[in-house]
Structure 1
Amino acid sequence: MSYVTSLFARKMVAAAGDGPDAAALLASVGIDADAPWDPKAMIPAGAYYTMLERLAGEVDATNLPVRVGASMRCDEYGALGLAWKAAPDLRGSLSRVERYARLWTSVVRYELRPDPRGVLYVIHRPGERRLGMRLSNETTLVATVALARQVSPAPVTPVEVKVQHAAPDAVTSHEDWFGCPVRWGAEVDAILFCHEALSQSNILGDEGISRYLLSHLDAELGGLREDVSLVAEARAAIAQTLSEGAPKMARVARQLGLSVRSFHRRLAEHGVSFQTLTEETRRDLAEGLLRDDAHSLAEIAFLTGFSEQSAFTRAFKRWMGVTPASYRKERLKR
């Protein structure tokens, strides 16, 4: 499964204003609205896109990516944000994201690519170009420029911004923010920076702090690889036991050869809880089973650990904003 940091979801919901039910939207991706903000807490990318699509159904989301991206601050990204600030120049900052972005997302890969006019900062995000992904991509592009402007001694204006999907209904706010041409329907999602902008010394660049932060990030990245494997194994164990009802943490921990305490601690280090992992597994399994008509809704409810179809329907509507029957009907039409 692909993950993104919960920070993005919280920012999106906050920027949407008082109209939408913020707590319900955040709960749909497994976030407790009253809990402290933690960029290390991860949420499934697919669920995040679905949340954005629900949000777009309640408010005009045309300019939402610009508002959210512009509000991002280096310090909100933890050690990686500090490493961005401490890099010697903007090229160094972008290189650190290229290397360590896995700490805040498993769905996006970043690349610095030479270009005749400078360097392209390319955002690789595979998958269906659904509305939620499009909004997320636009936000990432805006946020990158926002973070660049926070560390550079002179104003940073890209040479050009490229966006793979078609332009939204209005693009004035995007163009005003970037201050350069925005090419929609391009071959990649990317920002083109000139060499001069990339070579400006960062305001807070510090070689000593950089060495310390990079060693910390290397260790964190190594630990993340181990925990991702654990999460994948835990999801598989949960899926195997769902047909017997809601899985018990003690049983899953035992299957993985861990004590309950160790299992809880290692999941927490990866920013997920057993309850959240169970919800994600149920949701993903339900979505997969609903994409064809091989199983009845009652059978899917049983296979995903619900004792009654009505309980499954309520849970699925909370996750996706629609009933299982409506979701299946829409998918089978495609």
Structure 2
Amino acid sequence: MMTSHSFDRIKIPAAWWAAFRQLDIEAYDVVRRAQLPLSILTEPVEVTTAQYFAIWQSVSELIGDPAAGVVKLLTESAPAQWPPSVLAPYHARDYRDALKRMARYKQLCSPERLHIIEEGEVCTIQLEWLYSEQPEPPLLVYITLATLLDLGRNGTGQPLTARFVELTQPMPAGNVKALEEYLGCEVQFGAQNNRLTLHLSDLDRHFISYNAELLDILIPALEKSLEEQQRSKSMTETVKWIVKRSLSAGRPDIQAIAKELGMSERTLQRRLTDEGTNFKQLLTEARREQAREFLADSSLNTKEVAFLLGYEDQNSFYRAFRLWEGDTPSNWRAEQLGMPPIQ
């Protein structure tokens, strides 16, 4: 669990609570049900991902029909209430540009990532929350994916439909058909990831809401805020966290990490050098720290630990661990943690 991570902060705009009132839900009831301090209703605060999820779970429990709530929120929300990071994409040049801007500036609001992949005749957008291993509240997923489709509809002025939508969790209650009618496609539940798949040809559609003058005002300010946000973070800590999350998929490389951070490999190298480290050193530190954590779990044997750390074979892990700790993983576990050696 990474919900206590120092970068795990989500801004709560005041307009948020007004949006919930459109669903006949009082902000007081939401906050109380989520077991959060009432001060977040009157003061500008940031919450963690866990608290953010608790808020949406509370809304989900208070709302009568999730599908109807999604449609109502999207059709009745006023652009004047949107923060600049959300407003800018609605005035992009075309749908593709809008999606890219949404993915980039969403970082200013929350530690959520939109992975956009164009392949063949489709564009797939996959959601990921960086600092939580817990599943997102279903209502939050519905809102997010529907908003991305609604972005294209509002911008182009056309009744665009999705190719299909994949959701990891079923709708807890309400009319699934209503959600499918709004999205214009079948909704598949029980998927491995939450994803929206669009028709690739729709991404070339120009936005009738394109406003170059407004973007000239908004974009420099957003880019400055994004740069300040990134500089306020310890790049060392950020990279190490991403590496730990990626280890089980194989040894991560600097190119992949730089891409995820939205910067060039050269820029990432320079930032790490400025902080007195380098990628190779961080990879080693991340593996060593994770090795200690995994070995503390008595349910994992050393072969499983080696796999989770991205090693191709158990012997490679053994050699590395002996360099770090001067002993085998099994002996270290027995001596340091008082556990019997597990092969």
Where on the TM-score scale, by shorter chain, does this alignment land: which range?
Answer: 0.5 to 0.7
Aligned with 1:122 (options 126, 132, 139):
126
The equivalent of 1:284 in structure 2 is none
**Does 91-100 or 179-188 show the bigger shift?**
179-188
2:21 aligned partner: 14
Tell me the secondary structure at the aligned position of residue 192 of structure 1.
strand
Is contact 1:159-1:192 (8 Å) kept?
yes
Amino acid at match of 2:20: V
Aligned to 2:274: none
| 1:282 counterpart residue number | none
Q: Give the 3 Å change call, closer, same or farther, for CA 29–48 of structure 1 in structure 2.
A: farther
Q: Which residue of 2 aligns with 1:146?
A: 150
Correspondence 1:190 to 2:195 = yes
Give the SS at the match of 2:72: helix
Q: What is the CA-CA distance between 1:179 and the residue it aligns to?
A: 1.3
The alignment of Structure 1 onto Structure 2 pairs a total of residues equal to: 223
How far off its partner does 1:93 sit? 0.4
Task: Name which structure has the greater RCO, CA cutoff 8 Å, separation 6+.
Answer: 1
Partner of 2:176: 171
2:10 maps to 1:4: yes
Deviation of 1:177 (Å): 1.1
User: What is the deviation of 1:75?
Assistant: 4.1
Residue of structure 2 equivalent to 1:159: 163
In structure 2, the CA distance between the partners of 1:227 and 1:74, relative to structure 1 (3 Å rule), is: farther
SS at match of 1:84: helix
Question: Deviation digits for residues 183-233 of structure 1, max 9, x if unmatched?
Answer: 22223222222133211111121345434422211101122235567xx9x
The question of whether the paired residues in 2 share the 8 Å contact of 1:74 and 1:147 is answered with: no
CA gap 1:69/1:128 in 2 versus in 1, 3 angstroms = farther
1:225–1:71: structure 2 CA closer, same or farther, 3 Å change rule?
Answer: farther
Deviates more, 1:197-206 or 1:118-127: 118-127
Task: Identify if the C-alpha distance between structure 1 residues 142 and 4 changes in structure 2 by more than 3 Å, giving closer, same or farther.
Answer: farther
Determine the structure 2 residue equivalent to 1:223.
228
- Gapped runs of 5+ residues in structure 2? 238-343
Identical aligned pairs, as a percentage? 17
Change (3 A) 1:65 1:3: farther
Are the counterparts in 2 of residues 9 and 26 from structure 1 also a CA contact under 8 Å?
no
CA distance in 1 between counterparts of 2:46 and 2:82 reads: 13
- How has the CA–CA distance of structure 1 residues 76 and 190 changed in structure 2, closer, same or farther, with 3 Å as cutoff? farther
What is aligned with 2:58?
Answer: 54
Q: CA RMSD in A?
A: 3.1
Pick from 85, 94, 101: which aligns with 1:96? 101
CA contact (8 A) 2:88 2:218 kept: yes
Q: Contact conserved, 1:5 with 1:104, CA < 8 A, in 2?
A: yes
Where in structure 2 are the equivalents of 1:32-71 lying within 5 Å? 32=39, 35=42, 42-60=46-64, 62-63=66-67, 64-71=69-76
Distance (Å, rounded) in 2 between the aligned partners of 1:140 and 1:49: 13
Query: CA 1:139–1:95 in 2, change beyond 3 Å: closer, same or farther?
Result: same
Question: Separation in 1 of the partners of 2:97 and 2:90?
Answer: 9
Letter of the 1:163 partner, please give it: L
Q: Report the CA distance shift for 1:35/1:49 in structure 2 as closer, same or farther (over 3 A).
A: same
C-alpha offsets along residues 251-288 of structure 1, whole Å, 9 cap, x if unaligned? xxxxxxxxxxxxxxxxxxxxxxxxxxxxxxxxxxxxxx
Structure 1: where are the runs of 5+ without partners?
A: 233-334
CA distance in 2: counterparts of 1:31 and 1:148, whole angstroms: 36
Q: Separation in 2 of the partners of 1:52 and 1:209?
A: 32
Residue number in structure 1 paired with 2:85: 80
Change over 3 Å in CA distance of 1:74–1:149 after alignment to 2: farther
